[in-house]
């Protein structure tokens, strides 16, 4: 069984909540790891509505300081405190996010029973902002009206599986098995230099989820997003409003699909819909004309990141 890597969409509106939609937030699960991407107003209630435990979250990533992407964060932080959190929470976001959050907290008498650690995003180039044993997150500068970054969430882990027959044959000691899984070669005292693919099968390729919002259509992202397993790309407008999209530094659904196609994404989710589209069907249909594997971001719905199994190709 492959480790689960799933995204649950919590908000699909742009700019403001509507009667039918919440502002941006997504809950990511990568096996035992849980992170939040953006935290629009109402996110804590959306988490509770869909039975997702806020205390499991280790990291929150904020793309930019427009309210529809972080006005739910003060409430999430204080609710975590009220419910007795002790584990630290890491918040990744623009430089002034910490100032705002600390100011808000200092007006309350709630001394957090847990540590809040901030990591600052930067807007000049891509940066690895978080690295754990299980995943790493890279911030990607986007072109929006205020400083903004998208995020690449990259699974980490061995991508090779042992070819046990070969390992026995070449008498590889067990203590080298881990490094083989991570792709290293083995220097055998008896058999000489053994290349990794003589001792392993291809396993699962590490998966990448790309969270790209808010941004103008920007082809310079293509190499950065190359071959991602699942791309979430904002699609604020239908393409008939491309001028308005450009003016407000947003994208059309067609452009989101073009981006998915050009970068060779395996799947695309479109969201961040303007309040003018109560029904997102036309936006999804527009994207599918270019990129058939497009899904609509639906609140409460879970999406698998790269669910396909890589075929075995035996080298030994």
Cβ closer to a second copy: 72 or 150? 72
Residue with Cβ nearer a second copy (219 or 247) = 247
Helix ranges (DSSP H) in 164-280: 164-169, 177-181, 196-199, 242-247, 253-263
Using CB under 8 A as the criterion, what x/- string covers residues 100-119 for binding a second copy? x--xx--xxxx---------
Residue list 200-229, contact with a second copy (CB under 8 A): none
- Within residues 62-91, the interface with a second copy by CB under 8 A covers 65-68, 71-72, 74-75, 78-79, 82-83
Residues 135-164 that bind a second copy (CB under 8 A): 145-146
Q: Specify whether 279 is catalytic.
A: no
Among the options 38, 68, 214, 229, which is catalytic?
A: 68
Give the max Cα distance, the chain.
71
Closest to 75 measured CA to CA, from 100, 30, 51, 41: 41
Which CB atom, from 146 or from 314, has the smaller least distance to a second copy? 146
**CB 65 → a second copy: shortest distance, Å?**
4
CA distance 196 to 258: 37
Q: How far is the CB of 56 from a second copy (least distance, A)?
A: 17
Q: How many CB atoms lie within 10 A of CB 80?
A: 21
DSSP for residue 154:
E
What ranges in 2-110 are assigned the alpha helix state H? 43-49, 73-82, 97-107
Residue 306 near a second copy by CB under 8 A? no
Q: E-assigned strands of the chain?
A: 5-11, 25-30, 33-39, 59-61, 89-93, 116-120, 127-131, 135-142, 148-155, 160-162, 186-188, 192-194, 200-202, 208-212, 230-234, 268-271, 294-296, 302-304
Query: Measured from the CB of residue 185, what is the shortest distance to a second copy in angstroms?
Result: 50
Residue with Cβ nearer a second copy (94 or 150): 94
Out of 3, 15, 179, 224, which residue is the one contacting a second copy (CB under 8 A)? Answer: 15
Q: Closer to a second copy by CB, 42 or 150: give it.
A: 42
User: Nearest distance from residue 49's CB to a second copy, in Å?
Assistant: 6
CB of 23 to a second copy, least distance (A): 8
Interaction with a second copy in 35-54: which residues (CB under 8 A)? 41-42, 44-45, 48-49
User: Residue 264: left if φ>0, alpha if ψ -120 to 50, beta else—which one?
Assistant: left
Cβ–Cβ < 8 Å for 72, 57: no
The CB-of-123 to a second copy minimum distance in angstroms stands at 14
Question: Which two tokens mark 2?
Answer: 């492959």
Task: Quote the CA–CA distance of 288 and 178 in Å, as a whole number.
Answer: 42
| Cα 40-226-291 angle, rounded to 5 deg | 75
Cβ 7 vs Cβ 232: under 8 Å: yes
Question: In the window 161-180, what residues touch a second copy (CB under 8 A)?
Answer: none
By beta-carbon proximity to a second copy, the closer residue of 28 and 80 is 80
Query: Looking at residue 210, what DSSP letter applies?
Result: E
Paired strand residues for 276 = none
The least CB distance from residue 99 to a second copy, in Å, is: 7
Residues that bind a second copy (CB under 8 A): 15-19, 22, 41-42, 44-45, 48-49, 65-68, 71-72, 74-75, 78-79, 82-83, 94, 96, 99-100, 103-104, 107-110, 145-146
Positions marked catalytic: 68
């Amino acid at each position: 069984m492959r480790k689960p890597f799933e995204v649950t969409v919590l908000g699909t509106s742009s700019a403001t909540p509507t009667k039918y939609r919440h502002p941006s937030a997504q809950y990511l699960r990568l096996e035992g790891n849980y992170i939040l991407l953006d935290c629009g107003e109402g996110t804590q209630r959306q988490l509770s509505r869909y039975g997702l435990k806020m205390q499991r979250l280790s990291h929150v990533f904020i793309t930019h300081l427009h309210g529809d992407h972080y006005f739910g964060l003060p409430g999430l932080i204080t609710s975590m405190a009220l419910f007795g959190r002790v584990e630290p929470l890491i918040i990744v976001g623009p430089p002034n996010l910490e100032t705002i959050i600390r100011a808000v907290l200092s007006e309350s008498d709630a001394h957090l029973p847990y540590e809040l650690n901030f990591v600052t995003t930067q807007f000049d180039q891509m940066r690895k902002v978080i690295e754990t044993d299980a995943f790493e997150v890279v911030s990607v500068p986007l072109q929006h009206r205020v400083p903004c970054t998208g995020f690449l969430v990259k699974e980490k882990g061995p991508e090779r599986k042992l070819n046990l027959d070969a390992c026995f044959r070449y008498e590889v000691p067990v203590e080298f098995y881990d490094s083989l899984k991570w792709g290293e070669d083995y220097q055998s005292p008896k058999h000489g230099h053994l290349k990794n693919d003589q001792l392993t099968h291809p396993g699962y390729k590490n998966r990448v989820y790309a969270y790209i919002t808010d941004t103008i259509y920007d082809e310079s992202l293509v190499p950065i997003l190359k071959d991602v397993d699942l791309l979430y790309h904002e699609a604020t407008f239908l393409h008939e409003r491309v001028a308005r999209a450009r003016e407000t530094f947003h994208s059309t659904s067609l452009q989101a699909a073009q981006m998915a196609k050009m970068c060779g994404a395996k799947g695309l989710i479109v969201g961040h819909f303007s309040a003018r589209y109560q029904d997102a069907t036309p936006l999804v249909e527009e994207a599918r004309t270019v990129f058939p594997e497009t899904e609509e971001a639906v609140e409460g719905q879970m999406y698998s990141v790269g669910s396909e199994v890589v075929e075995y190709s035996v080298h030994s």
